[in-house]
Amino acid sequence: MTDLGAYVFVFVAGLITALATGLGAIPFFLVDEISDRWNVVLWGLASGIMLGASLFGLVGEGLAYGTPVELGIGVLAGVVLVVVAHEVIEGAEVSPKKYEEADMKKLLLILGVLTVHSFPEGVAVGVSFAELGFSTPGGLVIFGTAVPLLAVFMTVAISIHNVPEGVAVSIPLRNMNVAPSRMVWWAVFSSLPQPLGAVIAFYFVTIAQQFLPIGFGFAAGAMVYLVLTEFIPEALELGEDLAGDGKRELVAGMATGAGAMIPLLSVTSI
C-alpha cells in the first residue's frame, strides 16, 4: 500500500504525536506551576520511553531487515545529522515569545531549531510504518488498513514522550502570563515537523526496501543522541536544588518509561 491514502495515514499518525505535545499545557489550566521534582520525573519518563523504543523496537527491527553494518551506518548518520544541525544553529535561543516577534529570517531559524528536535521523532514513526497495508503477525486493522504493531507502539511512545516536551514549552509561557489555550497551540507548534518527518521517512523506506535498516538505525541513533545530550542534562539541571540532585527522580522516571516499552521486544521477535 503506497498510494496517497498510505501517506495520509502516516501523516495523521505523525500529526497525532505533534498534537500530543499540546497535552503538556493542560496542567496549567489547573495549577500555576509544576514542581522541579515532577519536571525531572517527566523528563526521565520521556528519556526512558525514547531509549526503550529505540533499543527494543527500532534496533531490533533494523537487525531483522539488514545487517549490523547497515544498522550502524544509519545510527551514525542519525547522530551526525543532529550534531551538524546543532552546530549550524548553535547559540540560537528559541522561545514562544520570539515566535510572535520573528521576521522571515528569524522564523526560518526557529523552524530549523524545531526540526532538529522533532524531525528524528517523526522519522521513527515513518519507518515503523514500512509494512503498512501488509498483513503481518500481530498487526492491527485500523479503518480497514493493516497496521504493523510496531507502528502503533512507536506512535503511542512518541506521543507520550511529547507530553513532557509540551510542559517544557509551557513553563516559560506561563511566566509570561500567556493564556493556557495559547500555550496548547505553541506546544503543538513546536512538534509540527514530526508529521513531515514521518511522511519523508515512509516514502524512502517504501520506494527502496534496502533503506529500511538504515532508516531504523537513523531514527534510533538520532533519538538516543538527543536523550543523552539534551533530555538527561535538562533533567539534571532542573534537579540541581533537589535532594541527590534529582538523580533518584530521573532514574525512577527512566525506569518507568523504559519498562513501558519492553512489550516492543515481543514485536521484534514475532
Could you read off the pLDDT of 44-90 as tens digits, one per residue? 888 888 888 888 778 888 888 888 999 999 999 989 887 877 776 66
Contact present, 192 and 18 (Cβ < 8 Å): yes
N-to-C CA span, the chain: 22
- Amino acid 39: pLDDT: 82
The residue type at 18: A
Residue 260: closest CA among 173, 147, 158: 158
**Cα dist from 109 to 88, 94, 114, whole Å:** 10, 9, 9
The residue type at 4: L
Low-confidence ranges of the chain (pLDDT < 50): 1, 102, 104, 107, 268
Angle, CA 24 vertex, CA 57 and CA 32 arms, to 5°: 150
Strands (E), the chain: 140-142, 145-147
